[in-house]
Amino acid sequence: MARNALLEIRRSLEPHVGSRVMLRANGGRRKTIERTGVLEEIYPAVFIVKLDEEQHSFKRVSYSYADILTESVEVTVFGDNGQIRIQYVSN
């Protein structure tokens, strides 16, 4: 079941390659880190976001689909139809 969930999350991200996204990740010790950038690439186990250069000292970050499944990372896509949060909803 977990494998299907990860595949479903990956498929929900694929059409948004090249789109602007906001990442909200757990920074430890009750800190939440927010970053914005562009969803750059999708791989079988991870996805890569190219960060806005003026905001961050490093240019790219990668997260696994399991990070979205476990809600360690929230991904919000900015599109023509507004904001879309990528998440897994079990039936």
Tens digit of each residue's pLDDT, the chain (91 residues): 577 999 999 999 999 999 999 999 987 888 898 989 999 999 999 999 999 877 556 789 999 999 999 999 999 999 877 898 888 776 5
Total-model pTM = 0.85
* Pairwise CA distance, residues 6 & 8, whole Å: 5
Q: Exposed, middle or buried, 84 (CB in 10 Å: 0-12/13-18/19+)?
A: middle
Residue entry with tokens 């909803």: 89
Residue entry with tokens 């996805």: 47
